[in-house]
Structure 1
């Protein structure tokens, strides 16, 4: 049996991928280098702005957001105040701001890119058939693999971390946008067409508003996936709480690692609850 399998020589897949990666890196270095430089400056600016806000003001702003989003209930508000104060008390405020910057930029890019692709999949059967296996590939590929092209194209730092997080987190937004538009009642679509709506009007005044709750659910999943990449992205130099977790693991500093992990949990719960509440509001 082994002899039969050995009749076919080993396919040079790894060698070809390495050759392709080197070619892309060298050919498009004129594009990757400015993207890395200006993106890093942009994200440094966001972090600097967040750090410029006094921690007490930032905590109160998040608490007010949680209060109104949760329907003026105090559960999420209290948790936000206590959780963010705990992170500040433990000396991880700057790490928290770096983490928020990474998640914010990766999530925003995922939405900007993902929603149009989701609309394209909903409108085109050909695009749907092409993009579905691509999304399956992106969601089943181990997250660590995304670090390889990120480092090859952008070196190390926060930019490749955002790039890896973007690839890892974008599929839910694409899928849920596609699903939400496809679930819009055909009767409503036909009625809008009967009243003379153009394709643009039908999309932005009928389909997208009715699909908003589904799209928001996809955005919620995208944000959580971007947050889950924080620790993994720290392996290629992305700053934030993830770097503290990785450093603690390497140095066997259990206490520091636990506190940093708690900080990530607090941030994840706050983001998840706020986006869930926003999703629920769009359903009403």
Structure 2
């Protein structure tokens, strides 16, 4: 069987399966001759083969083989293809005359900068008893992440953990963004601290955003106390004292007011003598 009986088809565009990028390198015999013993895929810069027949011989689960019997087509599948997968791949076809084909694969990042990001919007100062509302949004290049987790002080927050905490998460596929809203119905000083929003993108890329929030107390004696994000206590008292000038003016007004009464008392006392 001559080498012309085989050809290599390289899908230069990433296929999309469940919105995840999958690269497919395919090889199949020509209709004139379909008798061969097996297909081996490997990278020429690595000593071990990737696949033999329908079996993968690497621990990396991203590599697999898809065999289509009615076309005798052998596809090397690379899930979540990345730039590190770039290189020259070798396809060995075992026949009466062994055949080798090479495929040069170049995987590049999407144009522009990495648009995967996470951020939190919300207040940094809340009065005790008032509600807390923080919103986290996580955006991806090609799709939004699947979940968002909330933490405070290293402790994870769950929706419905108590009647006071609610977490509502919803996606926006048109902008590849996942939104999550943390609501605390009635805040307390224990709710002060650093809130963390954590999400995982494809390829196990982990990103987090942090937000400092302090809950303050407003007292009736004009004292405001609050636990800051670092655990310290902020206290501001309104200790207003009358100035010496104000005291002096008050004394003079009292003296003037009592002068007529004092004069009348002295005259009456003299006649009494």
Q: TM-score range by the shorter chain?
A: under 0.3
Point out which structure has higher relative CO (alpha carbons under 8 A, 6+ apart).
1
- TM normalised by structure 1 equals 0.21
Structure possessing the higher radius of gyration over alpha carbons: 2
Higher fraction of strand: 2
- TM normalised by structure 2 equals 0.22
Higher fraction of helix: 1
